[in-house]
Amino acid sequence: MRCSSFEPLLDAYVDGELTPVRRARIAAHVEECAECAALLAELRVIDGLLLAPRQLEPAPNFTFKVMAEARCLPAPRAHRSQHFAVLGTYVVFAWVAIGAFLAFGGAAARAMLATIGGGFARAAAAFAALAGTTGHLFGSQTYDVTAAMGVLIAVDLVFAALVVALYALLRARRAPVAGSTEPC
């Protein structure tokens, strides 16, 4: 028999899965054929490597080396998307979609406009009733209460802006200190 007949059987020969007759034929062929003998030796080495469990131990200073290299890496930056560009794109797309619906919507578009108009009319009537009720509730001091509420909203906005500015300032001062622990 030729080598091409024996080569597919060599793996089964190494695993001991062949009948005694086939096993004897392959053993006789391997004694005569140097190529099949080399292939059999290679299969035995591979089988030995696969059967022997290996435990890999990292180098004693592995953690130290990894942490030293991690300290030398540049600080990660948060991905900042351009919020106004995204918001602007959304608004433009929404208005184009609304305009297309109104232009090509026909009766459905007219019904929607009538519904929205009725909703605005009811909201205006509700605001007028609320203004009349507030006028009765606060009397002549309605404008003073409205001005005080406006001042409170302005103070809240200024306070929120100060908190955001303080956070940005502290973060900017803290970033160089965190990055300069060790020179690389």
Domain spans of the chain? 3-51, 83-176
pLDDT at 118: 92
CA distance 8 to 158: 82
Which candidate, 150, 148, 152, places its Cα nearest to that of 160?
152
Specify burial of residue 39 (Cβ count, 10 A radius: 0-12, 13-18, 19+). Answer: middle
Digit-coded pLDDT (tens) for 72-130? 888 877 766 677 788 889 999 998 998 888 888 888 888 888 998 899 899 888 888 87
Please, where are the H alpha helices in 33-104? 34-51, 62-72, 83-104
Whether the pLDDT of residue 179 is over 90: the answer is no
- Give me the mean pLDDT over the 156-181 stretch: 79
The total of other beta-carbon atoms located within 10 Å of residue 12's CB is: 13
pLDDT-derived band at 154 (thresholds 50, 70, 90) equals: very high
pLDDT at 1: 52
